Amino acid sequence: MTTAAPGSYGTGPEKLLSPVLSEIWDEPESWTLETYLRHDGYQGLRKALAMPPDDVIALVKEAGLRGRGGAGFPTGMKWQFIPQGDGKPHYLVVNADESEPGTCKDIPLMFANPHVLLEGMLIACHAIRSNHAFIYLRGEVVPVLRRLHEAVREAYEAGYIGRNVLGSGLDVDITVHAGAGAYICGEETALLDSLEGRRGQPRLRPPFPAVAGLYACPTVVNNVESVASVPSILHRGKEWFRSMGTEKCPGYTLYSLSGHVVNPGQYEAPMGITLRQLLELAGGIRPGHRLKFWTPGGSSTPLLTEEHLDVPLDFDSVAAAGSLLGTKALQCFDETTCVVRAVTRWTEFYAHESCGKCTPCREGTYWLVQLMRDIEAGKGTLSDLDKLADISDNIFGRSFCALGDGAAAPILSSLQYFRDEYEAHIEQRGCPFDPAASTLWADQPSTAHQEVNA
Amino acid sequence: MTTQVNLGLPELPAEDYPDEVRARLEVDAKEIIARYPGSRSALLPMLHLVQSEEGYVSRTGMRFCARMLDLTDAEVAAVATFYTMYRRRPSGDYHVGVCTNTLCAIMGGDQIFAELKEHLGVDNQGTTEDGTITLEHIECNAACDFAPVVMVNWEFFDNQTPDSVKQMVDDLRAGRTVSPTRGAPLCSFKQTARILAGFPDTRPGAVSASGSAGPASLAGLRLAKGATAPARPDAAHGLVPSQGESTAENGTQEGEGQ
Ligand SMILES: Cc1cc2nc3c(=O)[nH]c(=O)nc-3n(C[C@H](O)[C@H](O)[C@H](O)COP(=O)(O)O)c2cc1C
Ligand code: SF4
Ligand code: FES
């Protein structure tokens, strides 16, 4: 079990960081092919093309890369599921829908360095024998779309995409596809329906996308960060990758800190760093305040509290602590935050985004919103709390896709840790918190005072 | 343009685009369709395309998509109404979306949205009388480390305050050029929809505008590089050692452009 970042120096907590994906984001024109090539760009692809496809799959598998889209499924294994010699076209679809509340890593990655994603896609296409790959980008991020358009254009022009990639005999086309606003389209089978020009609703599995995905052909759906992590594995080797992170969860990853943190942002570190370590790097919770609750990986992952500050942020350890690593979206809220308000808002989100296909989620989220709004407004009763828990239990594990589980997670976990706060809303017939105290500008006039007191 | 909103009366079949418009859009539509192995995949980008023509997805636009893709009007309408980015009625030149998902809401998005409604005199999804601005609250836009976030025509306005946003909408209404913190100087909503249909933004400097990455995106990187300052001769690659098995390993650092 090692979580050190090899090759970093110094004695401060900074030595815990390991920028790989973010390594060139501070270059003046980091998104260009020229900048990327100056920093070993497309070297991983050259290596991959010199290897038989199955060896590439084996390498990614042995490196231990696990999907960064939330579930942590081993990427090499996913690629291996693609049947070979079946005579059908194979497709690679990059999931760039990034819409899980709190999640904000893929968008800055593609904005600052779209070529690392393209390189990863080309390696994956070689591995799974695909000639056509797609990037399904959520539509609401036009600056990223611009850079993807430009990167694809540059890469075609330079011969990295198109016929006979780098003289290898591999033909690959890459299509950038902008979605149109629907969280559920991040769910991989809903994404495929959406990419086929339909309403984005999840499909029954099996058959899994590896067997019948896009246009009923074998398809790999991978998250942006998963695919973008592949070039470094090819270029620097699996041992290098495994020298970071934990035994079962090797490598580096982007942790996204947001909320009441002094320096929110992207922190790329080996898997298994803790929130306490990350907060030390980020200057801590804003002065004069303390952490109240946080999400380890977006709003669909059960809330954690101060007592979980030392949980290693890898898939297995966070699961053992009763939550999920998810997308490593660490939304931090301090003691000024009303947990009932936070959870009500997330619940409204799930109700709005429920695709309506299955009853537990469609009806359940509707009722959860009514109950949460009433409680927040001081119009709830104590029996509503049991009703909340009961409805959540009926959604969790009984829904057609994981959106339903996600909707139940914030409610069940907040009831577990903050039941007294729900009760306070009911007993005091209103919210005991002042929303103004939570804002970014709340402490600004009095910052000086607090620093003196601190 | 060609379509009116029908109130109460049974709807007549949608009119077609005028010949000149249809001919022009057909060229674009064919280009979109050619990108995909299956033509129906072109539907979402084509709905963005018709939105770029009229500023919203009209019945005429849906009918055009149906004809081009050999679908029924109902099939197209079922898709168009599923996705939130397609607008169902004419609206402003600038779509101002205030993120009020939990994190932004708590960091001040709720206050921004409330003050903006009052400042503009419109409600959620309302359009100002001058037709410049349509206000809407939006869901998490994958920028939580820049909270509170406001999107205008889907460009990023990071770390906003009520005052900064009011100033920004005043500038827009006064016809001044407004630039996002991440993204390109604002174009109209229709032009934005055309980019979404997959036609690259051809304005000079649009791709490079606002630089490589926002400050929050660099928070960890700056720290890592600062912390390794003594080892700087080893430069960026020193942060994570190479395997050594690479034959293409270059001995020197930056400035090795190709
Ligand atoms: C409601 C819902 C939304 C999701 N949104 C995303 C998303 O925006 N991006 C993503 O990569 N995965 C998302 N996922 C997970 C995908 O279904 C899928 O597991 C992932 O893309 C697989 O990629 P990976 O193996 O590389 O992690 C979502 C899942 C659900 C249930
Ligand atoms: S759980 Fe919700 S989002 Fe998923 S299929 Fe059912 S209704 Fe749709
Ligand atoms: S909550 Fe506003 S960008 Fe994520």
Query: Domain with A282 in it: what CATH number?
Result: 3.10.20.600
**Spatial separation of the C-alpha atoms in residues A94 and A178, rounded to whole Å:** 12
Q: Could you tell me if A214 and A307 lie in one domain?
A: no
With contacts defined as CB-CB under 8 Å, which chain B residues touch A38?
254-258
Q: Could you tell me if A321 and A368 lie in one domain?
A: no
Question: Is the pLDDT assigned to residue A121 strictly greater than 70?
Answer: yes
Residues A222 and A94: beta-carbon distance below 8 Å? yes
For the segment B168-193, what is each residue's pLDDT rounded down to a tens digit?
999 999 999 999 999 999 999 999 99
Residue B60 counted as domain residue? yes
CA nearest ligand 2 atom 4, residue: A401
Question: Is the pLDDT assigned to residue A358 strictly greater than 90?
Answer: yes
Q: Could you tell me if A316 and A415 lie in one domain?
A: no
Q: What angle do CA A28, A123, A266 make, to 5 degrees?
A: 40
* DSSP 8-state class, residue B106: I
Cis peptide before A53 (omega within 30 of 0): no
| Lookup: tokens for A336 | 């000024």
Residue A155 counted as domain residue? yes
- For position B13, what pLDDT does the model report? 82
Residue A197 counted as domain residue? yes
Q: Could you tell me if A153 and A231 lie in one domain?
A: yes
Residue A7 counted as domain residue? no
**Spatial separation of the C-alpha atoms in residues B79 and A221, rounded to whole Å:** 22
Q: Could you tell me if B98 and B184 lie in one domain?
A: yes
Query: Span A213-234, mean pLDDT?
Result: 98
Q: What angle do CA A369, A375, A381 make, to 5 degrees?
A: 120
Q: Which of A40, A67, A59 is nearest to A126 (CA)?
A: A59
Query: Domain with B165 in it: what CATH number?
Result: 3.40.30.10
- For position A60, what pLDDT does the model report? 98
* DSSP 8-state class, residue B244: S
Strands A329-334 vs A291-295: parallel, antiparallel or unpaired? antiparallel
Q: Could you tell me if A99 and A160 lie in one domain?
A: yes
Domain boundary, last residue among A242, A261, A294 = A242
**Spatial separation of the C-alpha atoms in residues B86 and A95, rounded to whole Å:** 21
Q: Could you tell me if A57 and A127 lie in one domain?
A: yes
Q: Could you tell me if A146 and A75 lie in one domain?
A: yes
**Alpha carbon of B79: minimum distance to chain A alpha carbons (Å):** 5
- For position B239, what pLDDT does the model report? 31
Domain boundary, last residue among B188, B218, B244 = B188
For the segment B17-34, what is each residue's pLDDT rounded down to a tens digit?
999 999 999 999 999 999
Query: Domain with A166 in it: what CATH number?
Result: 3.40.50.11540
Give the range of the structural domain holding residue A329, as residue numbers without chain letter. Answer: 252-334
Domain boundary, last residue among A290, A313, A334 = A334
Residue B169 counted as domain residue? yes
Residue A151 counted as domain residue? yes
**Alpha carbon of A44: minimum distance to chain B alpha carbons (Å):** 9
Give the range of the structural domain holding residue B52, as residue numbers without chain letter. Answer: 19-80
Q: Which atom of ligand 1 is nearest to the CA of A67?
A: 27
In whole angstroms, how far apart are CA B234 and each of A4, A234, A445, B254?
Answer: 19, 22, 43, 10
| Contact partners, residue A321, CB within 8 Å, separation at least 6 | A304, A308, A311
**Spatial separation of the C-alpha atoms in residues A268 and B218, rounded to whole Å:** 10
Residue B13 counted as domain residue? no
Residue A11 counted as domain residue? no
**Alpha carbon of B137: minimum distance to chain A alpha carbons (Å):** 12
Strands ordered across the beta sheet of A219-223: A173-178, A132-137, A91-96, A219-223
DSSP-assigned letters across all residues of A384-435: HHHHHHHHHHHHTTTSSSHHHHHHHHHHHHHHHHHHHHHHHHHHTTS--S-G
| Contact partners, residue A52, CB within 8 Å, separation at least 6 | none
Q: Which of A324, A291, A285, A320 is nearest to A305 (CA)?
A: A291
Residue B140 assigned ligand-binding role: yes
Instruction: Provide the number of structural domains found in chain B.
Output: 2
Query: Domain with B47 in it: what CATH number?
Result: 1.10.10
In whole angstroms, how far apart are CA B195 and each of A98, A142, A150, A396?
Answer: 19, 8, 12, 39
Q: Could you tell me if A97 and A187 lie in one domain?
A: yes
Q: Could you tell me if B75 and B104 lie in one domain?
A: no
- Mean pLDDT taken over chain A: 95
Residue B99 assigned ligand-binding role: yes
Instruction: Provide the number of structural domains found in chain A.
Output: 3
Q: Could you tell me if B69 and B113 lie in one domain?
A: no
| Lookup: tokens for B47 | 């709905």
Q: Could you tell me if A195 and A88 lie in one domain?
A: yes
- For position B12, what pLDDT does the model report? 79
Q: Could you tell me if B75 and B98 lie in one domain?
A: no
Q: Could you tell me if B102 and B153 lie in one domain?
A: yes
Domain boundary, last residue among B137, B153, B188 = B188
With contacts defined as CB-CB under 8 Å, which chain B residues touch A112?
212-213, 217
Question: Which pLDDT band holds residue A234 (cuts at 50, 70, 90)?
Answer: very high
Question: Is the pLDDT assigned to residue A275 strictly greater than 80?
Answer: yes
For an interface test with A, give the residue of B57, B62, B65, B107 to mutate (most A CBs within 10 A): B107
Q: Give residue for tokens 């309403």.
A: A199
The complex scores an ipTM of 0.94
Q: Could you tell me if A76 and A123 lie in one domain?
A: yes
Q: Could you tell me if B43 and B104 lie in one domain?
A: no
Closest ligand by atom to B141 CA: 3
Residue A344 counted as domain residue? yes
Q: Which of B183, B239, B43 is nearest to A107 (CA)?
A: B183
- For position A445, what pLDDT does the model report? 67
**Residue type for B117, please?**
K
Residue B219 counted as domain residue? no
Residue A451 counted as domain residue? no
Q: Could you tell me if A310 and A384 lie in one domain?
A: no
DSSP-assigned letters across all residues of A292-335: EEEESSSTTSPPEEGGGTTS--SHHHHHHTTS--TT-EEEEEET
DSSP-assigned letters across all residues of A170-227: --BEEEEEE--S-GGGGSHHHHHHHHTTS---PPPSSSPTTTS-GGGS-EEEEEHHHH
Q: Which of A295, A313, A378, A268 is nearest to A100 (CA)?
A: A295
Cβ count near A412 (within 10 Å):
18
* DSSP 8-state class, residue B105: I
Ligand 2-lining residues (CB < 6 angstroms): A 184, 202, 354-358, 361-362, 399-401, 403-404
For the segment A415-450, what is each residue's pLDDT rounded down to a tens digit?
999 999 999 999 999 999 999 999 999 987 654 444
Report the SS3 class of residue B95: strand
What's the pTM value of the predicted model, to 2 decimals?
Answer: 0.92
Question: Is the pLDDT assigned to residue B234 strictly greater than 80?
Answer: no
Q: List the 169-228 stretch of B: residues with Cβ below 8 A of A.
A: 180, 182-184, 192, 195-198, 200-201, 206-208, 210-228
Residue B136 counted as domain residue? yes
**Spatial separation of the C-alpha atoms in residues A333 and A290, rounded to whole Å:** 8
Q: Which of A207, A93, A350, A420 is nearest to B101 (CA)?
A: A350
Query: Domain with A403 in it: what CATH number?
Result: 1.20.1440.230
Q: Could you tell me if A38 and A176 lie in one domain?
A: yes
- Mean pLDDT taken over chain B: 88
Q: How many helices (H) and strands (E) does chain B have?
A: 9, 4
With contacts defined as CB-CB under 8 Å, which chain B residues touch A106?
142
